[in-house]
Structures are given as structure tokens and as C-alpha cells.
Structure 1
């Protein structure tokens, strides 16, 4: 199971990267269009809306892989001086709290998506249904729940890192 979750998180991050590349290209086209209005060009309609939604989606797609790779910011001032058992307890507590946070976040994204869909809320310029952004972000949130659950199971000794996984990149806390 862990191999599947790690691969899913990695592919999720790659998709998030493609979303950001697409947003960057669209922003360049929009800015260029604005600069060349005198030549009959113009900005991409709804560029701010697309960047707003796309960035949120990309962040949700990046976070599970960032977590599994140990890429979150940490404060090691006291942690490095703690005994191994205390470090493990702090790490486990942090993982459990983050798992709970991700579950609540995913639940509220689900509720928000249903509400936006029920009331047919749309973006101002493109008139795009707002719930689409919630649904795309929900995919990353669900993968995040799986990542935090998997890492918690690994820390409890109920699962193992995928074979060949460099544990030093898995983050200690």
C-alpha cells in the first residue's frame, strides 16, 4: 500500500507542476497581450480567476509529496537536543495532529464544494462554476490524507517505506 501512496503523491506533485507551468504561460500571454493592446491584442479574459483557482489546486497537489519527502519547514532548536524517544513522540504527535487537520480540511472542502454547486456560484468574469476548483483541490486533499495516514502507520511500525526509499528524505518531524 505504501508504494501506491508514494507514487500517487509523486504524480500528484507532477500534475501540480504542470498546472503551474500552464498558469505561468497563460500569465505571460496575458501580460504580453496587455503590453501590446495598441496592436490589437489584449489580456487573457479571466486570467486572475484562473491563477487564483489554479494556484490553490497546485498547492493541494504539491503538499502530500512535500510531506513524504520531509520538505516542510521545521524548527530544530530543541528537537535535535531531545532524546530519541522524545523525538519519536513529538514526531508521532505532529503526524497525528496533521492527519486530523487534513481530515477536517478535506471534509470542509467537500462541504464547500457541495454548497458552491448547490447555489450555482460562478466566477465573475468567466462564469466558471466555483465548485470545479474545490473539486480539483479535493483530489489533492484526499491524497494528503492518504500520505499522512501512511506516514503515521509507518511511524507506528504497521507499514514500511517503499523499498529503496531514502529514509533521510522522509523527514523526521
Structure 2
């Protein structure tokens, strides 16, 4: 299954780096969500992408959105990663990649987990999907652009 623009984002509940359980449903009617799937904590590309989201986090918050990163790493790995790079947002542990597969955020050739960002509005509708393994900054730029366009409507 691949989630596309216009689809309702599937709900999920996963453990966060602080030990709490976070559900997508928690944000429905309250905030937009920028949900980004990334391959692995503390690798060069994932660090660049996560730090780019960190550097723009206040802009995302001002736009009424929460940033949530998801990978197959453990919550302990996420905690170390978040602490090392001062990541202020939620990182969720999708061990077994069940949620990743449900969203269709898998990579070409199945070699690495995909790097895909979904912009989900307050009503839970997917408004944008950005899929690029190498354009780390593009995930942040395109998500912000989409949120700004949603705010104009």
C-alpha cells in the first residue's frame, strides 16, 4: 500500500524516544503533522535531514505543525540521537517497519528503508508527499512550502 496525496493518513501508535506512546490521532483537529520516515539514526544523510528539521522547527511550530521522525531504530537509539543533535521533536520507533510499510515509505530495490516525508493536515488528510533519498534539505523546504500554501487557503 502506498499513501498518496488526498488519502487519509493511517493512524498508528508507536513508542517515542522519551518512552511515551504517540498516536497520529493525538494531533487530529489540533495540528498539522510533518511525518518523515528516515533510514537510520546517526548516519550522515539522516543526521543532515534531522538537523535541517531541527533548524526550522520553530518555523514549523509557527505554521501550526508538529514534526515527527520515524525509523526502525529503538527508542534508546532515538534518545541518544536526539540528545546528541539537540533534536526538539518526536522520534518514533517503528521496529519491524510496520508503519513504514503501511505508508509505502520503502526504498527502490528494497535495499534501504526509504526517506519519505508526508505533510498531513489537521483533519488527517495527506496534502503532500516528498520522496528523495539524497535531497535531505528538500524534505524540509517542500514541507514548509506546503504548510504555507495550506495556511493561505
TM-score (norm 1): 0.22
Given the two structures, how large is their TM-score scaled by the length of structure 2? 0.24
Structure (1 or 2) with the greater strand fraction = 2
Decide which structure has greater helix share: 1
Larger radius of gyration: 1
